[in-house]
Amino acid sequence: MSFFHLVAGKPLATSEERAEHIGPISGIPVFGLDALSSAAYGPEAALTLLIPLGMAGIAHIVPISFAIIALLAIVFFSYRQTIEAYPNGGGSYTVASENLGETAGLLAAAALMIDYILNAAVGISAGVEALVSAFPSLLPHTLAFCLGILAILTLINMRGTKDTGIAFLIPTYMFIGTLLFVLGLGAFRVIASHGHPIPVIAPPRLPIATSMLSLWLLAKVFSSGCAAMTGVEAVSNGVAAFREPTQRNAKKTLTIIIVLLMVLLGGIALLCRAYSIGATDPTSAGYQSVLSQLLAAVIGRGWFYYIGSASILLVLALSANTSYADFPRLTRAIAMHDYLPHVFKIRGRRLLYSHGIVALVGFTAALLIAFGGITDRLIPLFAIGAFLAFTLSQAGMVIHWKNQTGPGRHYRMIVNGIGAVATGITLLVVLVAKFASGAWIVAILIPLLMFLMIGIKRHYKGVETATATDCPIRVDNLASPLVIVPLDRWSRITEKGLRFAMKLSDHVEAVHVDAEECRNEVDAMWNRNVAAPLAQAGREVPKLVFVPSPYRFVLMPLVDHIFQIEREHPDRQIAVLVPELVVKHWWQAPLHNQRAQLLKLLLLLRGNQRIMVINIPWYL
């Protein structure tokens, strides 16, 4: 197992779990990564839709970016209040189900699940786009790089969150630092050149305009740009992770994150206009990301460019990591309410809800493959889930304040109300503007997921009703069960099984399926090794039964015989002993126990309430 340990980390003992309480400095990488990295693909997504307008299109990025920044400000004030109201963390699922009822909670749950999966897919694909912008020859391998990064992230995460925390700090601050530096330098050049800076490396020439500006196009551009807002709810989810004073630290962190995001979005928009940087077609060979063009224009393709690109790639890939941390927590919370399989509640060997991670990785890989690892195709699916969750969360907060007493609740209701209305309207705009280009997938998936969750809950409820009882234990008929021991040749395993059967019950029956016609030998073995010594010790000798098998089958006659015994003893329980060999190395496993497994399966499938299986392990 040592190779597995090396890769997946040693299993953690329970006592190693403790909350690491953090302040704003490490809070920004942990909770802000997702939000800040959106600055890398949000403006790009908006600019891509402006390509058909040619040169004239770029000017529109500035008002649209500032509209998004204004929306961001509204959301900021809303979430500050959520932090105050839910010191243990107020995710959209919690807030919506507590204040708006179960259906709203499920709606938020479905939206969030989809959103986390999309976040992982978009983070990775946008990171790979930063990579292929720096090294254009890698473009044909986009999907392979996406899946590779997904695999690496999964490995890191399967080792546990403790190890991942440190990996965040440096790239996040490098990303913020390089971008702020480039934006600052660019702004200085723009001012120094009176608004007409000369790019160090000119961005690709913009295509000739092929269409005109329309309100519809602007709505679509705004909708795509809203992808930049995803991830801002992370802090309010994780309030409990901050150190005392918890809520003040959380709010401080949220403020820094949002202000930084606003500066990045505004700066990128202004510089794009000043340097005439537009998006390029991500499927064509000349593709270069907007940030890559911006870096090259301001500072050239020197070492700084490559450091900047590397930090963008890293931060985007790591922003996918938010999903690894939050998706399993979300599925666990939903499973706690019986809306998802209970397996999502089980923590794995590294204190992780590993089934959640497996589900996340599976869906993300499927998304990446289906959309070829191209961010631009994923964006239309993206913002819906986030804005649906925003809206439900803010609307839930309105009800929350309504049910509170005390001063200032009306003011707070209004703040959250403005947030709910603003994000709600945005949600509608995004849904309509992006419906045809992919949002319909999400619009179908969300109700499907909700139906699935309701079905799961109904199943669990049904099982609970079927097995619930208030009756005390019945005290009649506590006779020991009939124990059946399949017998082949005499071995230490057979001896152990037979002894254990005799410990359990006075009614032991050894069964030999006579597939090889060696009845006499088995008889002799039985007399020598079992019957004689037991009789000598004055103990009851178990019955030995031969089951004929004209066709040399072993399992079927055995199972038939067990069911015959079961029919002959309608008042007793039957226990079937199944020895199982435990091998030293995993690769020896295929050599053993398949017959035992098949016997267990057959008994389970054809079985009834009265037949039990007892596993006798034998360690080599």
Residues 15-54 that bind a second copy (CB under 8 A): 15, 17
466 Cβ contact partners less than 8 Å away, ≥ 6 residues apart: none
Q: Considering the complex, what minimum distance in angstroms separates the CB of residue 605 from a second copy?
A: 8
Residue among 348, 325, 350 nearest 159 (CA): 350
Backbone CA torsion sign across 235, 240, 243, 246: positive
Structure tokens at 585: 């190395």
CB of 303 or CB of 551, closer to a second copy: 551
CB of 312 or CB of 522, closer to a second copy: 522
Q: Kindly state whether residue 8 participates in binding a second copy, applying the rule CB under 8 A.
A: no
CB of 307 or CB of 612, closer to a second copy: 612
Q: Which of 149, 254, 299, 616 binds a second copy (CB under 8 A)?
A: 616
Q: Which of 151, 366, 370, 532 binds a second copy (CB under 8 A)?
A: 532
Residue 131 to residue 287: CA distance in whole angstroms: 11
Q: Which of 305, 557, 562, 566 binds a second copy (CB under 8 A)?
A: 557
Residues 471-510 that bind a second copy (CB under 8 A): 471-475, 478-481, 490-493, 495-496, 498-500, 502-505
Q: Considering the complex, what minimum distance in angstroms separates the CB of residue 498 from a second copy?
A: 6
Which phi and psi angles does 578 have, rounded to 5°? -125, 110
Q: Kindly state whether residue 10 participates in binding a second copy, applying the rule CB under 8 A.
A: no
Q: Considering the complex, what minimum distance in angstroms separates the CB of residue 33 from a second copy?
A: 27
Phi-psi region of 372 (alpha: psi -120 to 50; beta: other; left: phi over 0): left
Residue 270 to residue 288: CA distance in whole angstroms: 19
384: burial class by Cβ within 10 Å (0-12, 13-18, 19+)? buried
CB of 212 or CB of 591, closer to a second copy: 591
Scan for tokens 């395993």, then name that residue: 493
Give the per-residue contact string, 401-440, with a second copy (x = CB under 8 A; - = no): ----------------------------------------
Q: Kindly state whether residue 529 participates in binding a second copy, applying the rule CB under 8 A.
A: yes
CB of 129 or CB of 509, closer to a second copy: 509
Q: Kindly state whether residue 208 participates in binding a second copy, applying the rule CB under 8 A.
A: no
Q: Please report, as a single letter, which amino acid is at residue 569.
A: H
Structure tokens at 345: 């509640």
Residue 254 to residue 200: CA distance in whole angstroms: 36
Q: Which of 533, 543, 548, 564 binds a second copy (CB under 8 A)?
A: 533
Spatial contact of 397 and 91, defined as CB atoms under 8 Å apart: no
CB of 137 or CB of 609, closer to a second copy: 609
Q: Which of 169, 200, 310, 612 binds a second copy (CB under 8 A)?
A: 612
Q: Kindly state whether residue 346 participates in binding a second copy, applying the rule CB under 8 A.
A: yes
Applying CB under 8 A, the span of 55-63, 232-240, 339-347, 396-404 interacting with a second copy comes to 339-347
Structure tokens at 560: 């038939």
Applying CB under 8 A, the span of 165-173, 190-198, 385-393, 586-594 interacting with a second copy comes to 586-594
Q: Considering the complex, what minimum distance in angstroms separates the CB of residue 26 from a second copy?
A: 23
CB atoms within 10 A of CB 7: 10
Q: Name beta bridge partners: 332.
A: none
Residues 357-386 that bind a second copy (CB under 8 A): none
295 Cβ contact partners less than 8 Å away, ≥ 6 residues apart: 182, 304, 305, 308, 309
168 Cβ contact partners less than 8 Å away, ≥ 6 residues apart: 26, 29, 30, 33, 318, 321
How many residues in the shown chain lie near a second copy by CB under 8 A?
Answer: 82
Residue 140 to residue 128: CA distance in whole angstroms: 11
Residues 448-467 that bind a second copy (CB under 8 A): 456, 459-460, 463-464, 466-467
121 Cβ contact partners less than 8 Å away, ≥ 6 residues apart: 320, 364, 367, 368, 371, 378
Q: Considering the complex, what minimum distance in angstroms separates the CB of residue 580 from a second copy?
A: 8
Q: Which of 530, 544, 547, 558 binds a second copy (CB under 8 A)?
A: 530
